[in-house]
Structure 1
């Protein structure tokens, strides 16, 4: 189980130490919501009290605060370490500069930079924080930091695996019976216009259940997210309160419970969404991974899943017709 690989975190974030959590997701990427839930679960198991939590919309409120000396700053993991999502790097640097003397940890991330100079400069900037440990979830990301001379780095799987065997997943799977031979094609559109050329999707379009997470969400779930974002924006303009974070976690869990139940209802899942596959693995289903764009799924599969009998990798979608 990959959950045991994450036991290494207990040495990086010692049991019982309080944490201040940054950059949790308040948007429609359900995979990022799963990471947030798993991080909460880890803190609970490790007896780490969450003193406070901030997202992109209200983190500025934290920058002038005084944190307890023993508090550890923890940044959410995921796939936003790089120049595709500059706001998240900006948040991390703002917080690290505000609290240079505190131990800080970036939970497992995929690092990707389209611009090589940007990659070198940004990675070296992270390396300049003596109290920061960066956790990376594939070997290519790890190599990027090693080439920059990073020392406080760790290779760890995605935080979502912490939920493997948890009561939360068991309860959400309860009553979900997979349709015999029922495959789910949970696919994000795997090509950009500029990359299309002669590429043709091998799936019958009507069989594709979801192009992306926003298409998966129900209107009620979207309203919950809009309300939470509005509440966080309000919090960012006024005296900071834990209310937005606490209310949002309830909505997040409702969204995730339905997602787990949804994936548990299929025997095999074809997906080019990393957490589309991880949801399936948490439900003990067979997964066929496909890659898109910058190789995130290929890197993750090669690092952690190549020996898992439940998981197969089919290459890029345009090369995967044989397994469909």
Structure 2
């Protein structure tokens, strides 16, 4: 699991912006099945509620922001959900972020910990211009690579902190059902690992919601949806005695479960960058290819 000192860094960053009783908004709820984003959301909510003693006064997804309702809610600080979508791989989230920066200018806007990756320099320049034009914007990043990118370009404050999902804390894990589980990306961030998974491995991804997902779009319903998704993800990866994953939150949740794991990378090095900045406490290894991952699994299984 993540060391207490790491969580203290994250907690101190949040306390820079809110205290007891502060009214705040939390925007860009992850209205999709990817478990990692829901884990981040629940970590953000846990920290903010612990510090302020209250729930957010306004929540939105990327597609249902109501500027008038946000103003009526009288949030003193506007937080943008963290994750790995600051850049041009997931353009709807980036455009939403830029809309908030352009339209919410009468109060602080805080981007919670993100990884940054732009393929188009013009898109990067667009974001930098909007960020620096905002009168009170703070950017948190979760790896040293993103820090170097932002610090070289932005005049706005940029700070390095870990991913907010670590605020979920240690998670219980029962007996494994399979010797090896592989949680492998099937989306736009996947990369070629040089070979298919080995025969006998249980191979999954976590991009499909269960049919019993709670319905609704108010704050309580959004919390229930996030909890449901994270519970599904924890149960999924806990099936394995050892996990191989190229999903960052597969690795982070494995650490919280004290589950030995091997990390492959996504297409732009996000996981290696994060792990180089915030090492895991649980037995783990990094691999560049599927063959290296299989060899690392054997070492971890041998203890």
Name the TM-score, length of structure 2 as normaliser: 0.85
Unaligned runs of 5+ in 1: 233-243
Q: Give the stretch that moved more between structures: 87-96 or 152-161.
A: 87-96
> Which digits, 9 at most, give the CA deviation of each residue in 1:251-273, with x for residues without a partner?
33233223323333433211001
In the alignment, what sits opposite 1:213? 206
* Residue number among 211, 216, 230 corresponding to 1:256 in the alignment: 230
RMSD after superposition = 2.7
Deviation at 1:323, TM superposition (A): 2.3
Q: Distance in 2 between matches of 1:204 and 1:126?
A: 45
* Residue number among 11, 15, 22 corresponding to 1:11 in the alignment: 15
Q: Distance in 2 between matches of 1:40 and 1:11?
A: 13
Q: 1:20 to 1:190 in 2, by over 3 A?
A: closer
Does the 8 Å contact 1:110/1:136 carry over to 2?
yes
* Residue number among 283, 297, 303 corresponding to 2:257 in the alignment: 283
Deviation at 1:153, TM superposition (A): 0.9
Q: Distance in 1 between matches of 2:289 and 2:111?
A: 29
> Which digits, 9 at most, give the CA deviation of each residue in 1:42-63, with x for residues without a partner?
112112531111112211x225
Q: Secondary structure at the match of 2:207?
A: helix
Does the 8 Å contact 1:291/1:317 carry over to 2?
no
In the alignment, what sits opposite 2:285? 312
> Which digits, 9 at most, give the CA deviation of each residue in 1:172-199, with x for residues without a partner?
x4xx2235x8222111249989x76xx6
* Residue number among 274, 284, 309 corresponding to 2:248 in the alignment: 274
In the alignment, what sits opposite 1:109? 114
In the alignment, what sits opposite 1:178? 176
Deviation at 1:94, TM superposition (A): 1.8
Unaligned runs of 5+ in 2: 298-303
Does the 8 Å contact 1:271/1:287 carry over to 2?
yes
* Residue number among 37, 57, 82 corresponding to 1:32 in the alignment: 37
* Residue number among 84, 89, 99 corresponding to 2:89 in the alignment: 84
Q: 1:247 to 1:6 in 2, by over 3 A?
A: same
Q: Distance in 1 between matches of 2:137 and 2:242?
A: 39
Q: Distance in 2 between matches of 1:90 and 1:178?
A: 41
More helix by share: 1
Q: Distance in 2 between matches of 1:148 and 1:100?
A: 21
Q: Distance in 2 between matches of 1:263 and 1:13?
A: 34
1:159 is aligned to 2:159: no
Does the 8 Å contact 1:77/1:108 carry over to 2?
yes
Q: Distance in 2 between matches of 1:192 and 1:62?
A: 32
Instruction: Kindly report which structure 2 residues correspond to 1:286-305, keeping only aligned pairs within 5 A, or say none.
Output: 286-305=260-279
Q: Secondary structure at the match of 2:79?
A: strand
Q: Secondary structure at the match of 1:26?
A: coil
Q: Give the stretch that moved more between structures: 244-253 or 71-80.
A: 244-253
Q: Distance in 1 between matches of 2:290 and 2:133?
A: 39
Instruction: Kindly report which structure 2 residues correspond to 1:111-150, keeping only aligned pairs within 5 A, or say none.
Output: 111-150=116-155
Q: 1:191 to 1:68 in 2, by over 3 A?
A: closer
Q: Distance in 1 between matches of 2:29 and 2:207?
A: 18
Does the 8 Å contact 1:103/1:131 carry over to 2?
yes
Q: Distance in 1 between matches of 2:73 and 2:229?
A: 33
Q: Distance in 2 between matches of 1:249 and 1:65?
A: 19
Deviation at 1:108, TM superposition (A): 0.4
Q: Secondary structure at the match of 2:30?
A: coil
In the alignment, what sits opposite 1:187? 184
